């Protein structure tokens, strides 16, 4: 793997960095405090192509690859992790439709996602009793006249109230277990599709997280994404890619925290000199920088493998678990460097800590990632050589 970025990747990264500094960073604290959804910013991101970084050009995307996508997510997360969540999920929806959808579905939805017309996309997999255990979902889809009738409830759905199209998983053959799950594309305002309450979250408060309910919600046969019964497989493929995005988000938050801690340690004086001169704090900075560098390399490897259509499940899980936990340690250490000031909202470090925490939970908890890693190691002897 070549660690040098291409000119295109550097341009895309720098575009995201400049946008983040100019448009996201100045309002990130206000967005967090007032739960402001970034509609204006998402439309602006669509204008510069960042809602379809890894989407083919024929459907309105950049077709710049997974590495470029990872770089974009990291840069945006440095400024506003809440906005980044909506960007990441929207990119994922566009990608999964491109990978598994019919030509009609691609034409109908992907362009509207990448140009901002649909504003966001959303994934409706998790349910009140089915988070990590996705195969135990209870939502049903039964054959109707020329289509399917959906009934069920979904939980923790990012951008579920703002998306033009939602990818919904439901059981079409309950007796077949995971092989009886099918994916559907459900448009906003479809009768029987209801948005529930907004979750009052610890972090990422500028992003929208809602419950969804489907009551006799009819969708045509053309709404089936992929083949009947392939929904669970589709979910696993999407989650593998999503873990690269969450890892990149965690890295961005961690890097923002490190920059804040470094700056504060140089300015804050105790005992007549900057606290940056104290070895204990220097080691915090050194350990954090080293861990975040390692996380970045793990992410780039996973992104490179996916981009080159090589197996990446193990590498994505390694990147996700390490980057999310490194981000948490980064925020915790940098808050400690701030002392009491880190605990108040005058400084952004407490927001970084709150935003980082969920990266160890969604797209598969840290515990699930370790199960995936162990399973892949036991299957692949080459990983030990």
Which tens digits make up the pLDDT trace of 18-47?
999 999 999 999 999 999 999 999 999 999
Instruction: Please report the pLDDT score of residue 380 as a whole number.
Output: 76
3-state DSSP assignment of residue 94: helix
Q: How far apart are alpha carbons 136 and 169 in whole angstroms? A: 11
What's the confidence (pLDDT) of residue 303? 98
pLDDT at 111 over 70: yes
Q: Which domains does the chain have, with CATH numbers?
A: 7-118 (1.10.540.10), 122-229 (2.40.110.10), 232-384 (1.20.140.10)
CA dist list (Å): 357 to 32, 146, 175, 250, 316: 15, 44, 37, 9, 19
Q: What is the pLDDT of residues 357-383, one digit of tens each?
A: 999 999 999 999 999 999 999 987 776
- Reported as a single tens digit per residue, the pLDDT across 145-173 is 999 999 999 999 999 999 999 999 999 99
Query: Rounded mean pLDDT of 283-312?
Result: 97
Going by pLDDT thresholds of 50, 70 and 90, the confidence category of residue 133 is confident
Judged against a pLDDT cut of 80, whether residue 194 lies above it is answered with: yes
Per-residue pLDDT band at 107 (split at 50, 70, 90): very high
> What is the average pLDDT score of the chain?
96
Q: What pLDDT sits at residue 206? A: 96
CA distance 207 to 77: 12
**Residue 229 · residue 179 · CB < 8 Å:** yes
**Which position among 41, 325, 363, 376 bears the catalytic label?**
363
**Per-residue model confidence (pLDDT) at position 384:** 62
Q: Exposure of 310 by Cβ count < 10 A (0-12 exposed, 13-18 middle, 19+ buried)?
A: exposed
The whole-number pLDDT of residue 135 equals 83
The CA distance from 81 to 77, in Å, is: 4
CA atoms within 13 A on the CB side of 48: 19
pLDDT at 17: 98
Instruction: Check if 363 is active-site.
Output: yes
Q: Taking the model in full, what pTM does it have?
A: 0.95
69-96, pLDDT tens digit by residue?
A: 999 999 999 999 999 999 999 999 999 9
How many other C-beta atoms can be found within 10 angstroms of the C-beta atom of residue 312? 23
């Amino acid at each position: 793997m070549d660690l040098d970025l291409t000119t295109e990747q550097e341009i895309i990264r720098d575009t995201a960095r400049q946008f983040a500094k100019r448009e996201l960073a100045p309002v990130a604290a206000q967005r967090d405090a007032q739960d402001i959804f970034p509609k204006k910013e998402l439309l602006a991101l669509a204008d510069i192509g960042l809602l379809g970084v890894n989407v083919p050009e024929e459907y309105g995307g950049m077709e710049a690859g997974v590495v470029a996508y990872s770089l974009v997510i990291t840069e945006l997360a440095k400024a506003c992790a809440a906005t980044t969540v909506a960007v990441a999920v929207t990119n994922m929806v566009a990608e999964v439709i491109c990978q598994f959808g019919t030509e009609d579905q691609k034409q109908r939805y992907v362009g509207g996602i990448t140009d901002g017309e649909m504003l966001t996309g959303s994934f409706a997999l998790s349910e009140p009793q089915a988070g990590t255990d996705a195969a135990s979902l209870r939502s049903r889809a039964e054959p109707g006249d020329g289509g399917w009738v959906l009934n069920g409830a979904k939980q923790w759905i990012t951008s579920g109230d703002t998306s033009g199209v939602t990818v919904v998983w439901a059981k079409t053959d309950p007796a077949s277990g995971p092989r009886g799950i099918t994916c559907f594309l459900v448009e906003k305002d479809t009768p029987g599709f209801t948005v529930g309450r907004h979750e009052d979250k610890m972090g990422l408060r500028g992003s929208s997280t809602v419950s969804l309910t489907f009551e006799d919600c009819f969708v045509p046969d053309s709404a089936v994404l992929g083949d009947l019964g392939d929904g669970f497989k589709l979910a696993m493929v999407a989650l593998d890619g999503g873990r690269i995005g969450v890892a990149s988000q965690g890295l961005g938050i961690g890097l923002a925290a490190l920059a804040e801690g470094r700056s504060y340690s140089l300015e804050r004086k105790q005992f007549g000199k900057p606290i940056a001169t104290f070895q204990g704090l220097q080691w915090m900075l050194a350990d954090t920088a080293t861990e975040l560098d390692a996380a970045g390399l793990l992410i780039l490897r996973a992104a490179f493998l996916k981009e080159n259509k090589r197996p990446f499940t193990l590498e994505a899980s390694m990147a996700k678990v390490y980057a999310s936990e490194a981000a948490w340690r980064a925020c915790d250490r940098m808050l400690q460097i701030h002392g009491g000031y880190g605990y108040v909202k005058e400084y952004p470090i407490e927001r970084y800590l709150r935003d980082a925490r969920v990266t160890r939970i969604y797209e598969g908890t840290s515990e699930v990632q370790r199960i995936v890693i162990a399973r892949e190691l036991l299957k692949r002897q080459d990983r030990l050589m």
